[in-house]
Structure 1
């Protein structure tokens, strides 16, 4: 492995080795609990590990000695503010810092329960405020144009049909790209509702529109690869599971051809699904369940998109004197 990924992995190994063995063991136990009990994804576990390694490495530098479980009970708001300031000084955004501090507090809280110390001073620190950025969905007409163009773009008809099928499924069902590409032959034929295992292993039911089933059927007729129960439904050019990077590349070509902004990614189709459903009268609780959001506050960001759209229409149409 070379490049940035290798550098990050090497830095992580260095930080792990720099921890006192007792603290490294406690961190591993906490991460195992987050994975097993709370159903955190591998991606989340890696993020949590990076968050805690940064924090524990900071404590070592800040106090001039390795961080130990017994020392966490002595942490104060000043220590937490110093950590936050150091992270912002390294260029971490307010949003990323808020997530990092949330992971740190969870670990400190777990350690206080485990070792019986009072962590109230450290836990009393506040996270930085940040403005949640609004999703940038496609307009309905843009989404239709994109799907129409996808069916005509690739010189190999089966690949054009494949890309159309995946993009139609993302837009029609609000799937994450990994959820769509994780489908296997055993999931075909798709029924009116599809059981999806999302983040944290949480299952949800999502609707599958007839147009999506028809697009997938058209792709499978043209595909040179048979539908096998234990193999990918959406295949790459060599028969393996279609990768997200290939689909992102196809989307990049489509948005350039249509003059769409860089925000028009495969994930933007999930945003478009939610925004268009809300505009059509869908209620937030239903949209939350369809998207698989753990918190309603995550789904509420789409109300901001709808309000922004209404304001833009008003400003464009209102007569000014």
Structure 2
């Protein structure tokens, strides 16, 4: 593959009788930002640890930049890693935390200081260089941890749920900052997350995982618009499911359903949720002639539509959608 940097082929990992990874194969290009996305226990952190060399696969190969990593210890893999818990030394300042790894590389005192200052500038934290972790916010600590990782000029960057311990506003800002730094440095990055919003906004490619297997691998647009199975469709974004007479599972996104006064499927408003730019309206379908009869259907509705159709609990309207918007899966 052109520009391929990291090739994971047929990787399996067993812990006794438990299979944590089952025949995982992924190719990652140089400078790509890839998210491993899935629920807790699906195997994504185990895969990250195998890439780092912190775990050995039971079977399969990891090839990095053309080199088989089977017998290469973590210290020789030249990666930077950022954990959820920051993992900063509490007795060292921000500057000293970044300098620590650089000193281990036997760099000159002048170069260590210069690179540490450059890394702090990259994350816009020069002003806290003499602060200890306890004197910094969670967001600042995580940025110091990121600066420490990139200061070492790693070949690739591994991020293990780096934002999950932060509050929503800080998390949103750091998503943008991490992606901006990654693009500036052009560093191949693999990030573990269970947050679909993080994956959708940050990644070039998403590896959707469940039960130790890859469910789908593609761009955020591909996995959202063309989910390969009902798990991916359900895990990423909001969606409606129902069964048809052929016993297939059918699905449609809430934004692909239109409201009408004159035609479509008869439905009654059950509940209205405010979601900022849109309302999520829950309808109960009352139409025996459709497979959706007695189903609950979610629809994204704008403020204008809410007022135009005078929607409130108990209101009746028609729901309409194009057949090409329907996704179909084997039951």
- Shorter-chain-normalised TM-score: which range? under 0.3
TM-score (norm 1): 0.23
**Larger strand share, 1 or 2:** 2
**Larger helix share, 1 or 2:** 1
TM-score (norm 2): 0.23
